[in-house]
């Protein structure tokens, strides 16, 4: 590699590494994540996923997801996607909200096929994506035969 080429490459490398850093907590090349974000950057923050750290079994685990948003016509959360790392069906749920929601908070009870990392991705009205990831330990998986 000659000097000219090296300089050209290093200029390229800066935005690439910034992109990689913003996405470090979540794999954007994951086909499921890609299908939701269409390859856009997923920023860490603004989303808070709440799960117990440890669950005795994975049959029914309480889950709350909150997104920091004023929920006005101009600025609101469009959708929240819940992704599992290890479940046979990885796309657990998607929720669609709008300014009429008033508060970007959804709670449910989920099934988990063993200890894993859970990811919540929020799509905002300005087209940006934000996320939170959380590790949860599950002592007894919900679907032992799922393989």
Q: How far is the CB of 39 from other proteins (least distance, A)?
A: 21
Member of 59, 117, 125, 134 binding other proteins (CB under 8 A): 59
Q: Are 99 and 12 in contact (CB under 8 A)?
A: no
Among 12, 13, 24, 91, binds other proteins (CB under 8 A): 91
Rounded-to-integer distance, Cα 75 and Cα 133, Å: 23
What is the distance of C-alpha 45 from the center of its chain? 10
60 touches other proteins by CB under 8 A = yes
Least spacing, CB of residue 17 vs other proteins, in Å: 34
Nearer to other proteins, 23 or 80 (CB): 80
Please tell me the number of Cα atoms within 13 Å of 84 on its side-chain side: 22
CB of 51 to other proteins, least distance (A): 13
* Tokens (6 digits) for 24: 């470090």
Task: Please identify, using beta-carbon distances, which residue of 7 and 139 lies nearer to other proteins.
Answer: 139
Phi, psi dihedral angles at 10 (to 5 degrees): -70, -30
Which residues, 6+ apart, have CB-to-CB distance to 19 below 8 Å? 41
Nearer of residues 27 and 101 to other proteins, judged by Cβ: 101
Return the range that interacts with other proteins (CB under 8 A); candidates 1-9, 40-48, 79-87, 121-129. Answer: 79-87
Exposure of 23 by Cβ count < 10 A (0-12 exposed, 13-18 middle, 19+ buried)? buried
Closer of 47 and 92 to other proteins (Cβ): 92
């Amino acid at each position: 590699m000659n000097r000219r080429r090296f300089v050209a490459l290093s200029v390229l490398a800066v935005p690439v590494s910034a992109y990689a850093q913003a996405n470090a907590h979540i794999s954007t090349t994951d086909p499921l994540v890609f299908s939701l974000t269409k390859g856009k950057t997923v920023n860490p923050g603004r989303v808070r996923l709440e799960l117990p750290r440890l669950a005795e079994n994975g049959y029914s685990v309480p889950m709350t997801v909150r997104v920091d948003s004023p929920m006005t016509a101009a600025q609101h959360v469009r959708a929240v996607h819940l992704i599992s790392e290890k479940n046979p069906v990885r796309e657990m749920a998607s929720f669609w909200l709008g300014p009429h929601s008033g508060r970007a908070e959804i709670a449910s009870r989920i099934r988990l096929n063993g200890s894993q990392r859970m990811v919540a991705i929020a799509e905002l009205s300005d087209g940006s994506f934000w996320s939170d990831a959380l590790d949860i330990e599950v002592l007894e998986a919900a679907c032992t035969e799922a393989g």
